Structure 1
């Protein structure tokens, strides 16, 4: 049951479509009246009419009379669809002028044969019975003038066919121009920025991208001709430019293939460029001869030679690709083989056959060259990215190895530094013992040897030696910059001696912030400076009170030792005190008179 219902539905659709299709009329016969070199002739007509074949490419004009019969006058507008007509033309329906395209009196101007044409026919212009469509054409040399079969019918159906033809010929050409221009711009940008790593010195630009860019730009301009009705140049120069673009595209594409195969580094590369220059120049010259002499055989013959040469090169390239295949060669070789096959078809259809209305197919195969170029660029980019990642990985590994080596070296240096610090510390302790304790012991020995030393003097010398030894040991553990800790250690060591000597100790030490510039050596200098100050009080001042002050005064760290001894000449400060004060960057101030002596240090 379902099969029967489907069959009935199909028959109903065919019945619904059949009347509309039956109303479409293809006009391919009538009569033609031509005027060439002042001679007018009328002959029966069978479309298509290829002007260059019928009139040997000589310029002239023609009137095509295409009769058709209607059973009744239509109630709706009709339309006429002409796949190809030109170069310029006008159209009449039953004697009424419907449209004029171009200047019928001036040759080598606009060219309306590049795109299909469609015109609306008002219903009132048609009549039951005999009707006549009259098309007048002006033809230029070598511009593929003529007339293809004409289709008339209801406007909806005719415009549907016209839209399909327009999309394939005109819109498709515009899209191809855009694609070729974009690919050419990409290739040219790559040529400006990329260098050929295999070139001598590595400073030459990558020629592969240059030839690809030239090929795409030439082809973009060549295909753009399909959308340019009124060229900016007269026909002969414009036709030569279009031929130059065609040959420039072919020559650049072959040199592009040469670079893809890696043959551009061979010794015969100049010969290859010379052959391409001959091909280019010969095409332009033969085009000029064909157009100026109205003899298309010049260009047709040269294009045949060019096609043979290009075909031989592509065959050689294909054989080399089979022997040593890679992705780039396979893509480019496939595009080249397809292009040569399609170009041969175009040469037969456009240059030799009487077919009219056909368009070139080779314009579409250029897309494959663009796709091949983009594939090569993507593959090279991926290869470069992989190599860059590998290099980055290798570099990271080397950096890690170097960091490990540096860490080991740094650890060794740090250990050496610590060992040197310990050595220096031992040397410092030995030097302090030699200069301080040793000198005091030596003094005691001299006192005993002289036989004149008193017991009290000898005892004082030995106590100084012992106190200095203890302070030298204490200095090992003093924190850098901690003046408070230094004073506390000094009080601990010297307070018993002060008490034994009958000197009262007054302690006025406030909490002091660390002094940044007092490192370990400076702390030792400060310690011995204070020790020497206190020793002078014990040995020479005859004081009964010693006051130690420390704290901040007007934002400055200040240390003071004050005694009530006999005093001394403050204008002649002890040299040892001055040297040690300069060593630690402190300002030393002395004030002395009987009953009050002040030794002051300030850390600005």
Structure 2
């Protein structure tokens, strides 16, 4: 029984294998169309011929503008049961695809010159099954060829969608379009890193000027130029007129080459040697010459101008790379070896591209230098990162050294500050002693001198002499009190004044009245100004004691209207208020107080105001 089941299973597998083989044999393989009948129209002249594909328009017609219609017959053995598609590796500048007279797809407007350029990426065109027929079929591709835009038609493949799209189109699309996207992104990343380092890594050179490393700058310029140049493969419809766009793309290509050479120029330290500085001029000529000859080639529709100049440019670059390689062999470093290797490969690929793209009849080929540029970009990135790492390590060493120096300086400054603080305290004590002595000289000394003169004259009464000596003693006490007065504290000053003078007022039979409110500090009164205010008030009260013949004295102080106001009021005989005592006016002006006098028999007011 088991043997019978095993035999039946083997028969079933064999049948399935046979059916699959028969199905595979019945499905038609993709057809590569290698020959076509082409009808060209140039300046109104129409020609028809049979050609082998690929068809390179610029090489056959020397870059002139025109139209071409390609008839590509093919045979279908039986109506297909699966979807079909057409794979076109390269066609352009603009073109349209027809199958058996029906339009499949149009890429760009054939009536517009120098607009869209769809030769930059491979194309896959789905084929509706209803358009195919058993037997003979005709695929027609009509192109518009603009000068210097690599117009023409490569070999075309038509067949079942699965192998045509998967095996042919997707691979070609990945290399040419997706690869361009990745290359552009890589160049932008490398260029951004280099530019950021150029902006941030600033050093002070030997001559004292702040300098940036040109290595970073030229690496950034090279990568940005290359990013723009490679991005052209993703832009079928340029935003600028073709002549300007073509010059821009050629200029970016030359800018990349010149910037890469400037990178090598600084890497080899040629900028430090006056004998090698002339090397910069050929690099400038590479960019200027490319712009000029590209403009000539595009406007005259003569590709030979650009082809010839590119040969000169390659010669300049080859000479430079050889010189750099020789310099690297003489003084090898890891950085120079990396760049020299990448430069040699890039020059070899660039020469190959010039021979294949500019001189041969091959059409459908793509440039190799776009891929070798990755090696150069990687070398630039590695060098930039190595230099940044070295600069970071060096900077950390400088920071540590600087921190040690700052710490040492801080210790020295702390010691010096302590010494200065001690000196300042000594000076403050000295100044305070000098102030006390000066106050005693100006106040107490003047009163004692007055007493001496009174005694010498023999004309003074004992009461006047006693009053003079009491004034001297009171001022001495007030000078001592002023040492402990907080600056600006008018309330404390008045309290000290009351404490010292109230007994004397009582001895003189003068009633004392106190009308002082709680007062805020007066900001404009420092220690010196506070003492001046004290002497001013003492002078006003002393005048009352000596001259007013008053029986009552009142001191008032309040804070209103954002200021402090002081008043000394007595009920004496009064005086001529138009003549302000000089001692009062000078001291009031010295402390910035507003002095107001009011006097009549029975009421005299001395008022001071502070804002």
Alignment of 1:372-521 (within 5 A): 383=391, 390=399, 404=414, 409=420, 412-413=423-424, 415-444=426-455, 447=458, 457-458=461-462, 461=465, 464-465=468-469, 468-469=472-473, 471-478=475-482, 479=485, 481=490, 482-493=493-504, 495=506, 498=507, 504-513=509-518, 516=522, 519-521=530-532
Alignment of 1:65-214 (within 5 A): 65=72, 67-70=74-77, 72-86=78-92, 91=97, 93=99, 98-99=104-105, 111-128=117-134, 130-136=135-141, 144=150, 147-160=153-166, 161-173=168-180, 176=183
Which range moves more in the overlay, 332-341 or 119-128? Answer: 332-341
Match of 1:523 in 2: 534
Match of 2:365 in 1: 358
Matched, 1:546 2:557: no
Distance 1:588 1:28 in 2: 120
1:442 and 1:108, CA in 2 relative to 1: closer, same or farther beyond 3 A? closer
1:459 and 1:232, CA in 2 relative to 1: closer, same or farther beyond 3 A? closer
Which range moves more in the overlay, 304-313 or 180-189? Answer: 180-189
Bigger-Rg structure (1/2): 1
Distance 2:160 2:283 in 1: 55
Which range moves more in the overlay, 377-386 or 137-146? Answer: 377-386
Alignment partner for residue 258 of structure 1, among 265, 289, 296? Answer: 265
Deviations, residues 321-354 of structure 1 (Å, cap 9, x unaligned)? 5666778767755653443243244345435666
5+ residue gaps, structure 2, are 1-12, 589-594
Deviations, residues 563-587 of structure 1 (Å, cap 9, x unaligned)? 6xxx6x84599x9x92333244354
Deviation for aligned residue 1:523: 1.4
Match of 2:544 in 1: 533
Instruction: Tell me the secondary structure at the aligned position of residue 583 of structure 2.
Output: helix
Aligned residues of 1:57 and 1:294 also touching (Cα < 8 A):
yes
1:107 and 1:417, CA in 2 relative to 1: closer, same or farther beyond 3 A? closer
Match of 1:4 in 2: none
1:179 and 1:549, CA in 2 relative to 1: closer, same or farther beyond 3 A? same
Aligned residues of 1:26 and 1:149 also touching (Cα < 8 A):
no
Matched, 1:342 2:349: yes
Matched, 1:603 2:608: yes
Match of 1:281 in 2: 289
Aligned residues of 1:471 and 1:490 also touching (Cα < 8 A):
no
1:145 and 1:519, CA in 2 relative to 1: closer, same or farther beyond 3 A? closer
1:20 and 1:193, CA in 2 relative to 1: closer, same or farther beyond 3 A? farther
Matched, 1:558 2:562: no
1:234 and 1:136, CA in 2 relative to 1: closer, same or farther beyond 3 A? farther
Aligned residues of 2:477 and 2:500 also touching (Cα < 8 A):
no
Instruction: Tell me the secondary structure at the aligned position of residue 81 of structure 1.
Output: strand
Match of 2:7 in 1: none
What's the TM-score once normalised by structure 2's chain length? 0.68
Distance 1:110 1:572 in 2: 102
Matched, 1:580 2:583: yes
Deviation for aligned residue 1:121: 2.0
Aligned residues of 1:27 and 1:151 also touching (Cα < 8 A):
yes
5+ residue gaps, structure 1, are 1-8
1:373 and 1:490, CA in 2 relative to 1: closer, same or farther beyond 3 A? farther
Aligned residues: 558
Deviation for aligned residue 1:147: 4.5
The alignment yields a C-alpha RMSD, in angstroms, of 5.6
Aligned residues of 2:29 and 2:159 also touching (Cα < 8 A):
yes
Distance 1:218 1:177 in 2: 10
Match of 1:25 in 2: 29
Distance 1:189 1:49 in 2: 46
Distance 1:144 1:360 in 2: 12
Distance 2:360 2:234 in 1: 24
Instruction: Tell me the secondary structure at the aligned position of residue 513 of structure 2.
Output: strand
Deviation for aligned residue 1:558: 2.5
Deviations, residues 371-406 of structure 1 (Å, cap 9, x unaligned)? 777777788888599869959969977996897556
Aligned residues of 2:243 and 2:299 also touching (Cα < 8 A):
yes
Distance 1:142 1:570 in 2: 112
Distance 1:107 1:465 in 2: 118
Distance 1:527 1:189 in 2: 74
Deviations, residues 171-223 of structure 1 (Å, cap 9, x unaligned)? 54356567767987998999999999769996999877876676556545644
Instruction: Tell me the secondary structure at the aligned position of residue 558 of structure 1.
Output: strand
Aligned residues of 1:78 and 1:122 also touching (Cα < 8 A):
yes
Instruction: Tell me the secondary structure at the aligned position of residue 357 of structure 1.
Output: coil
Distance 1:599 1:102 in 2: 107
Which range moves more in the overlay, 360-369 or 458-467? Answer: 458-467
Aligned residues of 1:88 and 1:138 also touching (Cα < 8 A):
yes
Which range moves more in the overlay, 579-588 or 209-218? Answer: 209-218
Alignment of 1:7-26 (within 5 A): 23=27, 25-26=29-30
Distance 2:494 2:238 in 1: 97
Distance 1:589 1:287 in 2: 98
Deviation for aligned residue 1:90: 5.4
Distance 2:542 2:248 in 1: 105
